[in-house]
C-alpha cells in the first residue's frame, strides 16, 4: 500500500526536518521525503495537506482507559477513538483498573483488544505492587514478558520506602521504568485542592506543595541509590521541578512529565467549586505554573502527558469534597500545548518534541518522520478554531474545564503505521486515488 501526503509542512524536530514537502508512505513506513508536488505514483492514495502541518504521531505517557472494570466511564475503544482524534498514535495505559493490571494475562488481554481495534497503539503499564495494595511486589518478569512497558501504582503512591527500593532494584533488572505518583499521603490526608488562598476562601481542605516535594525527593534518592529508572508523573510544583533539574544534573536516571491542565490553569479555576477542575495533584499557584513551563522549555520535563482520567456525572456532579479527581485530555492536549508557542513561552519545535520524541524516548522508543521510520503521523491545521463539545468529543466522558472553550489548532487526520485511522472530514483534505 502506498500513500502520498502532498504539500504539507513536515515538522519533525528530532530528525531536523522543517520544510514544505511531499511524504511517501510504503507498506506502513516512511519511504521518501521529496520536494512539494514532485511525487505522483499512479498506484498511491493521495492526501492533500496544503496549509497543514505533518507531525510525527503524538505519544502520551499517561492515560486511564478504565477497562477492565469501569467501562461506563471509558473503554479501550472509546479511549482509542479519542486518542486518534487528538493526534495520538501511542498511549500508555495506567494499571489502576478494576482489577488492577498486576499479571501477564491482563497485559496480554489489553494488547490483544487494542490491536483488534487498530485505532492507536496502546502500551499497558503493570502495577508496582500486587493489587496496588502497597504490600508486596507484582511479578515484574511476567509483566515484562507479556508486554508491559513500565510499572506504576498511579492513583496512589508506593508509601513503603523499603518496598519501593526493592521495586527499583527488581525493575532495573528488566529495564522497566517506575512511573511515580509522587505524593506523601500523610501530608495530603483528605485534601481537596491546593493549600493556599483559594482553599482558605472556599473553606476546602488543602493539599500542600510539600506533599509532592517530599515524595519526589524520596523517589529521586531511591532511584539514585539503586540505579533504577524513575519517571515522575504529573509534576505540579516549582520545588519539585528544582529537585528533578538538580537530579538530572547529577546523572540520576530520572524523567518527568507535565500535563496541559497544570501548565494552563491555577487553583483559581476551582473558585466556583468547579468539580471539572478537581484533579490530583491539584492545580497550583501561578508561580508553579510558570515553573512547569520553564521545565518544559529546558528539558527538565521530558514530556507533555494528558493524565486523561474519564469520570461520569455520577462521580463529578456531586459536592466538591465528594467528587473524584481527574479530567479528560486526549483531544485538548495539542491545542493547549500550541498555546504555549502562540503566547511566546516555548519554541514550536520544543512543543512538538515534548509531544512526540520526548515521551517516546522515556520508553526507549522513537517518534520520527525520518525515512525508514514507522509511518505514525498526524495532520494539523494550526489556525483552525474549534471546541470540545457533544459533537466533537470521542470519549464516553465529558469531565473537563475546557468543555466548550475556544481552542486553536485542530487535528485533521491521524495515520497509524500507514493507515488512516482518523479523518475529521473529507473536506478540506482531499483523499483519493493518485
Positions annotated as catalytic residues are 307
**Rounded Cα distance, 219 and 241, in Å:** 13
Q: Per residue, what are the HEC states of the chain?
A: CEEEEEEEEEEEHHHCEEEEEEEEEECCEEEEEEECCCCCCCCCEEEECCCCEEEECEEEEEECCCCCCCCCCCCHHHHHHHHHHCCEEEEEECCCCCCCCCCHHHHHHHHHHHHHHCCCEEEEEECCEHHHCCCCECCHHHHHHHCCCEECCCCCCCCCHHHHHHHHHHHHHCCCCEEECCCCHHHHCCCCEECCHHHHHHCCCEECHHHHHHHHHHHHHHHHHHCCCEEECCCCCHHHHHHHHHHHHHCCCEEEEECHHHHHCCHHHHCCCCHHHCCCCCCCCHHHHHHHHHHHHHCCCCEECCCECCCCHHHHCCCHHHCCCCECCCCCHHHHHHHHHHCCCCCHHHHHHHHCHHHHHHCCCCCCCCCCCECCEEEEEEEEEECECCCCCCCCCCCCCCECCCEEEEEEEEEECCEEEEECCCCCCCEEEC
Nearest to 95 by CA among 160, 38, 28, 143: 143
Residues 6+ apart with CB under 8 A from 325: 278, 279, 280, 282, 309
Amino acid at each position: 500500500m502506498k500513500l502520498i501526503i502532498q504539500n504539507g509542512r513536515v515538522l519533525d524536530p528530532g530528525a531536523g526536518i522543517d520544510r514544505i514537502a511531499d511524504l511517501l508512505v510504503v507498506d506502513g513506513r516512511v519511504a521518501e521525503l521529496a520536494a512539494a508536488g514532485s511525487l505522483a505514483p499512479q498506484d498511491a492514495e493521495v492526501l492533500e495537506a496544503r496549509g497543514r502541518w505533518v507531525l510525527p504521531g503524538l505519544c502520551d505517557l499517561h492515560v486511564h482507559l478504565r477497562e477492565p472494570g469501569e467501562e461506563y466511564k471509558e473503554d479501550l475503544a472509546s479511549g482509542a477513538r479519542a486518542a486518534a482524534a487528538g493526534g495520538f498514535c501511542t498511549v500508555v495505559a495506567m494499571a489502576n483498573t478494576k482489577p488492577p493490571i498486576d499479571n501477564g494475562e491482563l497485559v496480554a488481554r489489553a494488547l490483544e483488544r487494542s490491536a483488534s481495534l487498530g485505532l492507536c497503539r496502546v502500551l499497558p503499564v503493570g502495577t508496582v505492587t500486587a493489587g496496588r495494595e502497597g504490600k508486596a511486589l507484582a511479578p515484574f518478569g511476567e509483566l515484562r514478558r507479556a508486554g508491559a512497558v513500565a510499572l506504576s501504582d498511579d492513583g496512589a503512591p508506593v508509601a513503603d520506602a523499603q518496598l519501593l527500593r526493592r521495586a527499583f532494584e527488581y525493575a532495573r533488572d528488566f529495564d522497566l521504568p517506575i512511573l511515580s505518583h509522587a505524593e506523601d499521603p500523610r501530608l495530603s490526608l483528605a485534601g481537596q485542592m491546593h493549600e493556599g488562598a483559594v482553599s482558605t476562601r472556599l473553606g476546602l481542605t488543602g493539599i500542600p506543595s510539600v506533599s509532592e516535594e517530599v515524595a519526589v525527593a524520596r523517589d529521586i534518592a531511591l532511584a539514585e541509590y539503586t540505579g533504577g529508572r524513575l519517571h515522575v508523573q504529573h509534576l505540579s510544583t516549582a520545588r519539585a521541578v528544582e529537585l528533578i533539574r538538580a537530579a538530572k544534573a547529577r546523572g540520576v536516571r530520572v524523567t518527568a512529565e507535565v500535563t496541559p491542565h497544570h501548565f494552563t490553569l491555577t487553583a483559581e479555576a476551582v473558585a466556583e467549586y468547579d468539580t471539572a477542575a478537581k484533579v490530583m495533584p491539584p492545580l497550583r499557584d501561578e508561580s508553579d505554573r510558570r515553573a512547569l513551563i520553564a521545565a518544559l522549555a529546558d528539558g527538565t520535563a521530558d514530556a507533555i502527558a494528558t493524565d486523561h482520567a474519564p469520570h461520569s456525572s455520577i462521580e463529578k456532579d456531586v459536592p466538591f469534597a465528594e467528587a473524584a479527581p481527574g479530567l479528560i485530555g486526549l483531544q485538548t492536549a495539542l491545542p493547549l500545548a500550541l498555546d504555549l508557542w502562540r503566547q511566546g513561552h516555548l519554541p514550536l519545535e520544543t512543543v512538538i518534541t515534548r509531544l512526540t520524541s520526548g515521551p517516546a524516548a522515556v520508553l526507549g522508543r522513537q517518534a520520527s518522520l525520518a525515512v525508514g521510520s514507522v509511518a505514525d503521523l498526524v495532520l494539523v491545521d494550526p489556525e483552525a478554531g474549534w471546541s470540545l463539545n457533544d459533537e466533537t468529543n470521542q470519549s464516553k466522558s465529558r469531565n473537563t474545564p475546557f468543555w466548550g472553550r475556544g481552542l486553536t489548532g485542530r487535528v485533521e487526520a491521524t495515520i497509524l503505521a500507514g493507515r488512516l485511522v482518523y479523518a475529521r472530514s473529507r473536506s478540506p483534505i482531499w483523499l483519493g486515488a493518485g
